[in-house]
Amino acid sequence: MDKDIHNRLSSGSPAQEADAGKGREEAGTATKGHPASQHAQQTAANKEPSASFFAKDRRFLDPNWEENSFFQSIKEQYLTYQSNVLQFFEAADAPPADKKKTLFWVKFFLDACSPSNFPFTNPAVLQKTIAQNGENFINGIKNFWTDFIFNPYLVPPLTNTESFELGKNIATTKGSIVFQNDIFQLIQYDPVLKHTHKSPVLLIPSWINKYYLFDLSQDNSFVKFNLAQGRTVFTLSWANPTKEHCDFSMHDYLEAGINTAIDTTYKINKEHLPPDCATKDMTVNVIAMCVGGTFFLAKLAEACAADEPFPVGSVTLLMAPLDFRFLEWINLFISEPFLQNQSVGCLEKKGVLLGEIFTKIFCCLRANDLIWPNYVERYLLGNELPSLDFLYWNHDTPRIPLKMLFECINNFFFKNQFFAQKTDEFGAFLQEGLKKIKNHMFVFGTERDHVVPWESCFSAAQIFPNLKFVLGGAGHIVGCINPPHKHKYYYYENTIKKGQKAEDWRSSANKKQGSWWTTWNTWQQQFDGGEIASYMATSFLEEAPGSFAKQR
């Protein structure tokens, strides 16, 4: 049998001989492994029981799992056992929420026990061990101890973090910090054209990650793309709080954060506008991402409910969760009773949460893409890490004040304040304001987003009258940061009918190849305003990316 295995492994195709997973397709999605036959993919999918409510794994893409009888037998036995165990738990008489949590963690354990995760039952590992006389294991041990020193959570890193330095080869677009308080720094980027549009753009990132997803390498920079369209671009860069800032609340992030950033951007722009500018040219076009979009929408709703002036023109929401019923994953890691038992005093003593905890949570949601393949790549195959800008950004997480975080989880994840039928005073106030919002909106979700399912984003269609929805291909990050010149992925466009369900919208939508940036740019142009001479703020504190983004 050993000789047969050796012969069949040694006679593999060049694809089999390649190292699996040299790069990653996206943060939060599948790794690039061996090309699989259609039959192999279908077999793995058919074995997946209905209990698996997250993305399908890619453990068995190596052709040997199908072509070699030994490995095929191991795979089939494992998948049958996994299916039977999950079906047993699925049939149990238990509350749906408890059943789903149990199924997730049982499957997580079973995934860890996959034969693909062990050296002598993984054909790719055996093949490389034979070819290198076991040197891959020596390299794997070195990799493990290197990772353990810097990453005690024992989750394999996704990229080589030593390959990037802010301001050197990532987040390199020239700009200046034009405002700062304890919550954020405001960056204005240097114009690249002699003339700019009257209405500036303000980018609001998620506070779970740092701002420069909008400004990765120059090839992937959304900031650079907007500057080339003749727009004045500002970006909010959240602080990286310490225990000294543990009393930051959600109110602080809404008022001293988002509201102040919009107001400051508006004032700087107004100083450079001709005195006869129309009101529509004196607004700020906001682009907000993920929970940054949730917070921005909450602030916009508050302003509308109170009939307060708020100088916002067009609104673009990128993967921003609105209806939190679709974000079921929170219940796998935290419960509402636990949250209710945490007093404010207790939270302030605990201070801040390491942002990388969220990164680990998101990896757990897609363990068969983001944990076990990396474990095999790094420690069994002994491969070096890839150097990818968006994975470096994904790794470079800020801390999060626990007080603000728990208020956010309580108000949105558990109370679902935007959509709940029965809500508290704050929720009723928000929902009143949502009904008054008349801004033109561009809402974007991604088809394979495991963090913010696109149906949660599409829920905006139930509320806002002036809305365009676009569904991108790929996942949470790569589906969003998709420059047109790369000619990658696809997106769906369709008109929205009143009361239309998300799946009905997608089933009748037009699928277009390429980047959604082009269709967004066409939509955004109608709100840019006329041209004026390009400008920079008259004073600045330091050069971009700024000290807040560099804080560790």
Tell me the whole-structure pTM to 2 decimals. 0.84
Q: Could you count the other beta carbons within 10 Å of the beta carbon of residue 388?
A: 23
Helix (H) or strand (E) holding 251: helix 250-252
Q: pLDDT at position 38, please?
A: 37
CA torsion sign, 138 to 142 to 148 to 154? negative
pLDDT tens for 442-454 read 999 999 998 999 9
Rounded to a whole number of angstroms, the distance between the first and last alpha carbons of the chain is 53
- Asked if residue 430 lies in contact with residue 305, where contact means CB atoms within 8 angstroms, the answer is yes
Q: pLDDT at position 152, please?
A: 59
pLDDT tens for 255-270 read 999 999 999 999 999 9
Domain ranges of the chain: 2-162+361-394, 175-329+400-550
**Predicted confidence band of residue 341 (pLDDT cuts 50, 70, 90):** low
Q: pLDDT at position 347, please?
A: 54
**Rounded to an integer, what distance in angstroms lies between the CA atom of residue 9 and that of residue 7?**
6
Neighbour-count burial for 265-282, b at 16+ CB within 10 Å, e otherwise: bbebbeebbeeebeeebb
- Mean pLDDT is lowest, of 23-27, 74-78, 92-96, 431-435, for 23-27
Task: Decide if pLDDT at 507 tops 50.
Answer: yes
Task: Report, as an integer, the average pLDDT of 408-416.
Answer: 92
**Predicted confidence band of residue 3 (pLDDT cuts 50, 70, 90):** very low
pLDDT tens for 355-409 read 778 888 888 888 888 889 889 999 999 998 888 898 889 888 888 898 899 899 9
Task: Decide if pLDDT at 44 tops 70.
Answer: no
Q: Degrees (nearest 5) of the Cα angle 228, 232, 234?
A: 115
pLDDT tens for 132-141 read 999 999 999 9
CA torsion sign, 245 to 250 to 255 to 258? positive
Main-chain dihedrals φ then ψ at residue 467, nearest 5 degrees: -130, 135
- Per DSSP, the three-state class of 416 is coil
Task: Decide if pLDDT at 512 tops 90.
Answer: yes
Beta bridge partners of 491: 472, 512
pLDDT tens for 297-339 read 999 999 999 999 899 999 999 999 999 999 988 888 877 776 6
CA torsion sign, 509 to 510 to 513 to 517? negative
Q: pLDDT at position 253, please?
A: 96
Task: Decide if pLDDT at 71 tops 70.
Answer: yes
Q: At which residue do the structure tokens 């041990």 appear?
A: 141
Kindly report the CATH number that applies to the domain delimited by 175-329+400-550: 3.40.50.1820
Phi-psi region of 233 (alpha: psi -120 to 50; beta: other; left: phi over 0): beta
Helix (H) or strand (E) holding 40: helix 38-47
Phi-psi region of 319 (alpha: psi -120 to 50; beta: other; left: phi over 0): left
**Rounded to an integer, what distance in angstroms lies between the CA atom of residue 84 and that of residue 445?**
35
pLDDT tens for 476-495 read 888 899 999 998 999 999 99
DSSP 76-138: HHHHHHHHHHHHHHHTS-S-HHHHHHHHHHHHHHHHHT-GGGSGGG-HHHHHHHHHHTTHHHH
Q: pLDDT at position 146, please?
A: 83
Q: Is pLDDT larger for residue 261 or for residue 42? A: 261
pLDDT tens for 201-243 read 999 999 998 999 999 998 999 999 999 999 999 999 999 988 8
Task: Report, as an integer, the average pLDDT of 407-433.
Answer: 91
Task: Decide if pLDDT at 55 tops 50.
Answer: no
Q: pLDDT at position 353, please?
A: 73
Burial group, residue 255, by CB count within 10 angstroms (0-12, 13-18, 19+): middle
Q: pLDDT at position 151, please?
A: 67
Task: Decide if pLDDT at 93 tops 70.
Answer: yes
DSSP 24: B
Q: pLDDT at position 49, please?
A: 37
Q: pLDDT at position 50, please?
A: 34
- Asked if residue 295 lies in contact with residue 254, where contact means CB atoms within 8 angstroms, the answer is yes
Q: How far is CA 421 from the centre of its chain?
A: 28
Q: At which residue do the structure tokens 């589906």 appear?
A: 479
Task: Report, as an integer, the average pLDDT of 184-190.
Answer: 97
Sequence-ordered list of residues with C-beta below 8 angstroms from that of 383, at least 6 positions apart, any chain:
19, 20, 21, 22, 139, 377
